[in-house]
Amino acid sequence: GAGVSQSPSNKVTEKGKDVELRCDPISGHTALYWYRQSLGQGLEFLIYFQGNSAPDKSGLPSDRFSAERTGGSVSTLTIQRTQQEDSAVYLCASSSRTSGGMGEQFFGPGTRLTVL
């Protein structure tokens, strides 16, 4: 079956612009996660969605970052007024376990964001 997909695969933007990154999780997976991978910070958790529950936003680095998950499926991560330090690979993962954190997470290929 299809895995987690993300688009675009690469995004180059100018400082100060807004960007939207998309994630399509594996069909039927109730949990969706966003992570960021950068050279200096490694793999960092950003936000977690589980079903209709309020998302866990504890990993978002600033209020410029936000995310939505529509219809319990597709998710969009938005970064407003991008800064150079936002340059990273943004990874999306989904999991089938209803009790989050127990099941293995399946990762997408990531979106490489470059802020000039």
Partner 1 sequence: AQKVTQAQTEISVVEKEDVTLDCVYETRDTTYYLFWYKQPPSGELVFLIRRNSFDEQNEISGRYSWNFQKSTSSFNFTITASQVVDSAVYFCALSEPNTGRRALTFGSGTRLQVQP
Question: Footprint of partner 1 on this chain (CB under 8 A)?
Answer: 31, 33, 35, 42-43, 45, 48, 50, 56, 59, 89, 91, 93, 99-110
- Considering the complex, state which of residue 33 and residue 65 has its C-beta at the smaller distance from partner 1: 33
Closest CA to 5 of 22, 28, 29: 22
Nearest distance, CB of residue 87 and partner 1, angstroms: 15
Are 78 and 66 within 8 A, CB to CB?
yes
Nearest distance, CB of residue 35 and partner 1, angstroms: 8
- Considering the complex, state which of residue 45 and residue 72 has its C-beta at the smaller distance from partner 1: 45
- Considering the complex, state which of residue 93 and residue 115 has its C-beta at the smaller distance from partner 1: 93
How do strand 10-13 and strand 111-115 relate by DSSP bridges?
Answer: parallel
Nearest distance, CB of residue 81 and partner 1, angstroms: 25
Nearest distance, CB of residue 107 and partner 1, angstroms: 4
- What does each C-alpha distance from 19 to 45, 61, 83, 99 come to in angstroms? 19, 16, 11, 31
Are 109 and 59 within 8 A, CB to CB?
no
In DSSP terms, 35 is beta-bridged to: 45, 91
